[in-house]
Amino acid sequence: MSEKRKAVRTYHRNLAIVLGILLLIFVCIPLFVKSPYVLNIFVLVFYMSTLSMAWNLLGGMTGQNSLGHAAYMGLGAYASCLLITKAGINPWFSAILGMVIVGLVAGIIFYPCFILRGPYFTLVSIAFGEALRQFIINSAFFGRASGVGLPFGRDSWLNFRFGSKIPYYYVGLAMLLLVYLLMKKIERSKMGYALRTIREDEDAAAAIGINPTRYKIMAVVVSAMVAALVGFFYASYIRYIDPELMVLAKSTESVLPAVVGGAAYVEGPLVGGLIMIPLSEFLRAKYSSILPGINMLMYAVVLLIVIRFRPTGILGWYMHSKLKTFVDTKILRKPPIEVLEEVELAKMSGKE
Amino acid sequence: MSDSKIIEVQHITKRFKGLTAVKDVSFSVREGGITGMIGPNGAGKSTTFNMICGYYPPTEGKIFYKGQDITDKKAYEYTNMKIARTFQIMKPLKNLSVLENVVASSYFGHAAAKNEREAKERAMEILQFTGLYEKRHILSKDMGTPDQKRLEMARALATRPEMLFLDENMAGLNPAETEAAIQLIRKINESGVTIFLIEHIMQAVVSLCEEVIVLHHGEKIAEGTPAQVMNDPYVMEVYLGKKEGANA
Amino acid sequence: MSTFLQACVNGLLMGGFYSLMGMGQNVIFGVMKIVNFCHGEMLMVGMYLTYFLCTTFGLDPYLCVPLVAIIMFFLGAVIQHTLITPSLGTKSFTNLLFLTVGLGLLLSNGALVLFGSEYRTIPTSYSQVYINLGPVTLALPRLISFGVLIVVSIALFAFLKYSTIGKQIRAVSQNPVGAEVVGINTKRIYILTYGLGTALAGIAGALLTGFYTIFPTAGASFGFRALIVVVVGGLGSIPGAFFAGIFLGLLETMVALFISPSYSDLIVFVTFIVILVVRQLIIIRRK
């Protein structure tokens, strides 16, 4: 037993070292990279991956394919912007209020919609996003098609306003990590099991005592709230928002990192985002003046190739690859799953 | 063993757009026993089953569980009442491992696990009990039919039921696998779980059930011990007689 | 009164396009149970194809219709064979959904790369000819398009109802396994169906070029309206799609006339959500 424990401890230590090094790299990047262009790409990776993780809670984990996440993000951006500009509320506080508002709106709107299954839910999510966008375009309060701007001014943590990109980089990274930990926590919790059961089969879920509607609402509310947080971050970063933020194409864009990376895994959107977004931005910067749309074209091609040849995404491929075996045995020194399980169970019962 | 009735079905009828699938069926299930329901294809067995399990409400009639009217309860409320079911068409959580399948069930029902440890420990115990322990890390979609059928039962058992409904749990199994399934069902019953099952395989019904209900064209045509039912002339005619005729 | 009639006629015309798109979408959904999220982009491809044929060979846009239909049919058949059929086997709704979404992205951004984002039109000698029909004035291209739409719709009805392939398509939509058992090659039917759906979208695109501007995202609004039409008219029901399309066209123009043009999208989407939810509630009640 003690030998097994030691092996598990070594594995956990190695895992912590590898993850620590990765994190350290990301923390140190702004110390060496001063180009605002490169930093901008990282900020983009952070918030788009976060948005994609929000989608993945609903799409990947619960099997409800939403194509309306740009709308939640947009609504969150609008809510926090208007709270800042019209009500004079502190940005940090209005971010929280915005999340609550969007969570409520999503919950109320989707409560009746969750009697719909499969493609119907996707269609309603598109219609909801478009209806919301049209509503904003027609509403003077929301600034119609011309949008809402946030005031510029001196750098301030209190007002979450900076001339440099570096503070946004760190806040974005923190947001990404927090949301990742939240998703990881959900995945391992009762809610995570309920959501995955619903994804596999709603009738089977009901048969073991899961109320599918209740859990789907929980998923949609959490997902929409995270999207609203991303909206707040986006608005604070760009300092200007308009209804274009909520078009269907943006919702699609928020899904791509998850599907390319592997929608069945919490890490999928991170892997997909880290690979796809820099590539897309590089293409956009390099060729968009001669060939507009080339970055999205590349996105589409990669998406089609992944779905056609690697339906479980990059991570799905990695999980069954020789690379993983190599990493597990040689670098992490991962003990066999039975040993891990035994030690884990022993540890858990020791705790009580 | 007590003689109290755990389930009482009173005059249930189900009509689908004018088609009467089940007509005025009444019966009861004795607590602690194994009761079976048989009948030819299209007799309304599954419809009756689904009504009792809350999948759809009966058009007419009432269903009682321990004296409580449960006619309008939703499917997801059943495990809280200590009732669990399996599906004829198996519904394993395909992309989850066998262990995860059972852990998911452990989190729900009247005795829902409070934490990860409790859920995992219960799942391990159930997997030992159903003989799936060695296969716990396999994805459930990669297993064969007999194991998937076992998994169906394991998932139901993880909700700690007192009443278990089994919907054709032996269909598609070979004789040896059927025998193993019979042993498992008997073991479950001996652990104190009342069982109600639908089955096509006569061997299983005869060896397991104390009481049998026969449905035909949506109506109950006989009930009693397996021996009584098998010797009922009407049952022989519509059910067994027909089968012999078809075989001849 | 005459503005009302004029709006009715315009609504009918746009409704005809929505019907045609919806019927194509419906055939695809009926047979493969997948929602074709690139249906609007197929219409856009039809528009650019017409534009290309007209500017390169100097053809009249309406003469291009059959040509566009044939080319689009083959495009659809190739896509079905190489991309959709293999993915149908994985039985993953998410993958199939994002496959068609990805195709949509590919087509619209491909058009953007190839043709740029500028708006294009196909000038014809008769584009400014107006016909007076009682109190209603109609541009000649709209009138011709509407005529062709009706002919194509009737031909589609007849094709699905009487031809052998049409019957096979209907058989597969009702029961793919049963169809396979009686000897229908379902893979071939998938190819024919997707080709047919794409061809119908292409025809709609070609017919639009007479009076509509061509740009890479021109298909988006038609694509989503086709989905509305399918859902409101009933999945798998071709006549349902036809009437739902007409209804949608009329609803849009009436909202534009009586409330405000800028509200027409909002009301269309809200009506859609309400119809969908209410209908589902009724179905659940009945159960």
The 3-state secondary structure of A62-124, one letter per residue? CCCCCCCHHHHHHHHHHHHHHHHHCCCCCHHHHHHHHHHHHHHHHHHHHHHHCCCCCHHHHHH
CA-based nearest residue to B165, from C246, C17, A208: A208
Helices (H), B59-134: 98-106, 116-130
Q: If pLDDT is split at 50, 70 and 90, which confidence band does A179 have?
A: very high
Beta bridge partners of C214: C120
CATH fold label, A35-301: ABC transporter involved in vitamin B12 uptake, BtuC (1.10.3470)
How far is residue A75's CA from residue B195's CA, in Å, rounded to a whole number? Answer: 52
pLDDT of residue A71: 93
DSSP A324: H
Sheet architecture: strand order including B5-16:
B19-30, B5-16, B60-65, B68-69
Q: Measured between CB atoms, does A200 come within 8 Å of chain B?
A: yes
Q: Measured between CB atoms, does A337 come within 8 Å of chain B?
A: yes
In a mutational test of the B interface, the residue from A185, A191, A208 whose CB has the highest number of chain B CBs within 10 Å is A208
pLDDT of residue B110: 87
How far is residue B7's CA from residue B52's CA, in Å, rounded to a whole number? Answer: 9
| Distance between A61 CA and the closest CA of chain B, angstroms | 11
List Cβ neighbours of C287 (8 Å cut-off, separation of 6 or more): B56
- The CATH number given to B1-76+163-169+179-248 is 3.40.50.300
Query: Is C102's CB within 8 Å of A130's CB?
Result: no
Chain B, 142 to 171: residues with Cβ < 8 Å from chain A are: 155-156, 158-159
How far is residue C18's CA from residue C248's CA, in Å, rounded to a whole number? Answer: 8
- Average pLDDT (A240-264) is 89
Chain A: list its partners (3+ Cβ pairs within 8 Å).
B, C
- Domain segments of chain A: what residues? 1-32+321-352, 35-301
Give the tens place of pLDDT for each residue, C204-244: 999 999 888 999 989 988 998 898 898 888 777 788 888 99
Choose among C108, C117, C281: nearest Cβ to A115. Answer: C281
How far is residue C228's CA from residue C26's CA, in Å, rounded to a whole number? Answer: 11
Choose among C98, C111, C272: nearest Cβ to A307. Answer: C98
CATH fold label, C2-286: ABC transporter involved in vitamin B12 uptake, BtuC (1.10.3470)
How far is residue B48's CA from residue B25's CA, in Å, rounded to a whole number? Answer: 8
Query: Is B107's CB within 8 Å of A349's CB?
Result: no
Q: Are strands B19-30 and B5-16 parallel, antiparallel or unpaired?
A: antiparallel
Helices (H), chain C: 2-32, 39-57, 61-79, 85-88, 93-115, 140-162, 164-174, 176-181, 186-208, 219-233, 238-258, 264-286
In a mutational test of the C interface, the residue from A121, A196, A213, A307 whose CB has the highest number of chain C CBs within 10 Å is A307
Chain C residues with beta carbon closer than 8 angstroms to that of A294? 109, 113
pLDDT higher than 60, residue A140: yes
| Distance between A63 CA and the closest CA of chain B, angstroms | 12
Chain C: list its partners (3+ Cβ pairs within 8 Å).
A
pLDDT of residue A335: 82
pTM above 0.95, yes or no: no
Cα A70 to chain centroid, rounded: 12
Who has greater pLDDT, A156 or B208?
B208
- Average pLDDT (C200-204) is 95
pLDDT of residue B245: 43
How far is residue B175's CA from residue A299's CA, in Å, rounded to a whole number? Answer: 54
Average pLDDT, chain A: 88
The total of other beta-carbon atoms located within 10 Å of residue B10's CB is 17
Please compute, for residue B100, the number of CA atoms within 13 A of its CA located in the half-sphere on the CB side.
21
Choose among A63, A128, A300: nearest Cβ to C106. Answer: A300
pLDDT higher than 70, residue A41: yes
CATH 3.40.50.300 in chain B, residues?
Answer: 1-76+163-169+179-248
pLDDT of residue B247: 40
Task: Say if residues A235 and A23 touch (Cβ distance below 8 Å).
Answer: no
Query: Is A200's CB within 8 Å of B91's CB?
Result: yes
Choose among A209, A348, A352: nearest Cβ to B109. Answer: A209
- Average pLDDT (A295-315) is 89
Task: Say if residues C223 and C37 touch (Cβ distance below 8 Å).
Answer: yes
DSSP reduced 3-state for C120: strand
Give the tens place of pLDDT for each residue, A193-231: 999 999 988 889 999 999 998 999 999 999 999 999 999
In a mutational test of the A interface, the residue from B53, B86, B117, B165 whose CB has the highest number of chain A CBs within 10 Å is B117
Chain C residues with beta carbon closer than 8 angstroms to that of A296? 105, 109, 112
pLDDT of residue C257: 87
User: In the structure encoding, which two tokens stand for residue C67, read together?
Assistant: 């040509």
Query: Is B107's CB within 8 Å of A348's CB?
Result: no
How far is residue A144's CA from residue A92's CA, in Å, rounded to a whole number? Answer: 25
Position of tokens 């509305």? C228
Who has greater pLDDT, B229 or A42?
A42
Give the percent of chain A with pLDDT over 70.
99
Query: Is B78's CB within 8 Å of A193's CB?
Result: no
DSSP reduced 3-state for B18: coil
Q: Measured between CB atoms, does A321 come within 8 Å of chain B?
A: no
- Residue-by-residue DSSP string for C45-91: HHHHHHHHHHHHH---HHHHHHHHHHHHHHHHHHHIIIIIHHHHTTT
Chain C residues with beta carbon closer than 8 angstroms to that of A112? 277, 281
Query: Is C269's CB within 8 Å of A128's CB?
Result: yes
How many residues appear in chain A? Answer: 352
How far is residue C98's CA from residue A65's CA, in Å, rounded to a whole number? Answer: 9
Chain B: list its partners (3+ Cβ pairs within 8 Å).
A
| Distance between A301 CA and the closest CA of chain C, angstroms | 7
Task: Say if residues B156 and B84 touch (Cβ distance below 8 Å).
Answer: yes
CA angle A154, A155, A157 (to 5 degrees): 130
Query: Is A248's CB within 8 Å of C220's CB?
Result: yes
Q: If pLDDT is split at 50, 70 and 90, which confidence band does A176 have?
A: very high
User: In the structure encoding, which two tokens stand for residue A335, read together?
Assistant: 């003990």
Task: Say if residues C208 and C141 touch (Cβ distance below 8 Å).
Answer: no
Cα A295 to chain centroid, rounded: 21
Closest residue on chain A to B123 (Cα): A345
User: In the structure encoding, which two tokens stand for residue B129, read together?
Assistant: 């009990």
- Domain segments of chain C: what residues? 2-286
Q: If pLDDT is split at 50, 70 and 90, which confidence band does C61 have?
A: confident
Closest residue on chain A to C270 (Cα): A131
Choose among A200, A205, A352: nearest Cβ to B94. Answer: A200
- Average pLDDT (C35-62) is 92
Mean pLDDT by 10 residues, chain B (248 residues): 78 86 90 89 86 88 90 88 88 88 91 86 91 88 88 92 90 86 92 90 84 89 87 77 46
Chain B residues with beta carbon closer than 8 angstroms to that of A334? none
Q: What is the H or E stretch that residue A196 is in?
A: helix A190-200
- To the nearest 5 percent, what fractions of chain A are helix, strand and coil? 75, 0, 20
Q: Are strands B163-167 and B34-38 parallel, antiparallel or unpaired?
A: unpaired
| Distance between A340 CA and the closest CA of chain B, angstroms | 12
Q: Measured between CB atoms, does C125 come within 8 Å of chain A?
A: no
- Average pLDDT (C31-60) is 92
DSSP reduced 3-state for C160: helix
